[in-house]
Structures are given as structure tokens and as C-alpha cells.
Amino acid sequence: MIEFLQQGDTCEIKGQLRQTEVIDLWPKRQQLFTDSTQVLDLSALEYADSAGVAFLLELICLGNCSKSTTQPRTLANPSTHLKKLIELYDLESFFLEN
């Protein structure tokens, strides 16, 4: 199960993000959080496979391509597991380091 918890300009993503969740979430991806969301907090994301990582990047693109946002949307607080995928796919520029 995956949850998106909006708190101000941050949306915490909680649970697991695998291909099966991505397939279910894809049609709803534009409604998962508000246009004012600037940070997707991944500290409670327990697991993500390569489809989950691709989905996270799509969420970043949706936010950064929106005409109503003034700051780029970023990903923050990845788990150790997710950091390995970030390094493997050379995606460090999409993530904030805290």
C-alpha cells in the first residue's frame, strides 16, 4: 500500500512503490498532491523498484512542467535502498541531500 500525505508544500510518500502500485497510480498521477507541492519526502518510502523510481521522476516532471509552479519540485530523504538505485541510474541531480 502506498500513501501520499500532504503537509504544506511537502508531500510524504509512505509505503512501497512497485510496478503494481505504479500501474494503479498512473491514471491518477496528476491528482496525488497539490500544485504547490515542492518537495516529495521519501523518508517513509520503504521500497521502490525501477518502475517506482521512474514514477517518482514522472511526478517531478509533472510539477516542473506545470505553469503554476515557481520553484522546481524535488525529491528528498531517500532510504538507503533507494540511494543505491539513485547511484545506479545516475539520478543524484533529482534528489535533495539532507
Q: Are 75 and 45 in contact (CB under 8 A)?
A: no
18: helix, strand or coil? coil
Q: Which three cell numbers stand for residue 56?
A: 517518482
Total number of domains constituting the chain: 1
Residue 42: name the closest of 9, 11, 7, 85 by CA. Answer: 11
Convert the pLDDT of each residue in 11-51 to its tens digit.
999 999 999 999 999 999 989 988 889 999 999 999 999 99
Which pTM was predicted? 0.85
Domain at 8, CATH number: 3.30.750.24
Confidence of residue 68 (pLDDT cuts 50, 70, 90): low
Query: For the chain, how many residues are written?
Result: 98
CA distance 11 to 37: 7
Q: Are 31 and 69 in contact (CB under 8 A)?
A: no
Convert the pLDDT of each residue in 52-61 to its tens digit.
999 999 998 8
Mean pLDDT of the chain: 87
**Domain range for 12:** 2-96
16 phi, psi to nearest 5 deg: -125, 140
DSSP assigned state of 17: E
